Amino acid sequence: MKERRLSSILEMDENIKVYKDGNYNSLGFIKEHEKERLLVFLNDEKYLSDLEKNPNISCVICSENILEKIKNKDIGICIANDPKITFYRLHNYLAKNTEFYGKNFSSQISKTAHIHPTAYVSDQNVIIKDGVKIGPNVTILDNVYIGEDTIIRAGCVIGTEGFQFARIEDDILPIVHAGKVIIHDHIEFQANCCVSKGIFGEATEIGQKCKFDNLVHIAHGVRMGKRCLVAANAMIAGYTTIGDDVWIGPSASISNMIYIGDGANITIGAVVTKNVGDRQSVSGNFAIDHDRFISFLKSIR
């Protein structure tokens, strides 16, 4: 990503006020700690502590009432009536009108990859490595990397837009997904899985040797380790991080922005809303430790 001045936001809307200029080279949410020189939005005082905890934030779009709380910080500050909407509009502008999130390139497909005649592969920004097998009616959209010997079976969609929208009074603003999907080596997707790309240039990333049953949904920004097994109808929401050797059972639902540790076991139908530790097993809706869940069931039967 290219570094930009906060004041360049005036290219999009000259009515926005830049209180203090600064530089940024990434956009994201206030709790993201992996990006450098990060631009975020802040429209509620309850997130001030998150701002203090994240040294990688270099610029903020905030409301007038928040300004007094942060004006002495060594960061760029932009004032907007609706910081969240201004932030998303800026992101959409950068994605559509600039090379902030990267340049296009012609797709690169290995000669040893086997792609079914009915499959669609974007002619831009796709890399498909040796030994990949892509089945009937698969759709591979732009900004997708597929590692060696990966199998993608019938009807899968890889690199789609994710479910991210922002309400504007009586309208809804769609958020452009300017990220990518990285699928490492020796992965297998059964029929009709869907993987969304990241929003702010980051990747949805699947580690080596993971296997997915039919109808699995993986949302934007998910990062999954190696050798995970995900059963049919499971849903993994955005920006969740999953360790190595995790089992996710049929029809499990995993909320956004949580962490699931190495070797964890998410049982059938579990609704996971909190972090899960290494080798922990959880069950139920909302999911709790599996042994506690079984004890509770026994107590009411």
Indicate which residues carry an active-site annotation. 220
Cβ(203)–Cβ(239) below 8 Å: no
Cβ(169)–Cβ(152) below 8 Å: no
Burial classification of residue 128, based on how many CB atoms lie within 10 Å of its CB (0-12 exposed, 13-18 middle, 19 or more buried) = buried
How far is residue 37 CA from its own chain's centroid? 19
**Strand partners for 133:** 114, 151
**What are the φ and ψ backbone dihedral angles of 45, each rounded to 5 degrees?**
-60, -20
Whether the link from the prior residue into 87 is cis, omega within 30° of 0, is no
- The Cα–Cα gap between 278 and 295 comes to 21
Cβ(204)–Cβ(183) below 8 Å: no
Q: In b/e form, how buried is each residue of 150-164, taking b as 16+ CB within 10 angstroms?
A: bbbbbbbbbbbebeb
Residue count of the chain, please give it: 301
**What are the φ and ψ backbone dihedral angles of 203, each rounded to 5 degrees?**
-105, 145
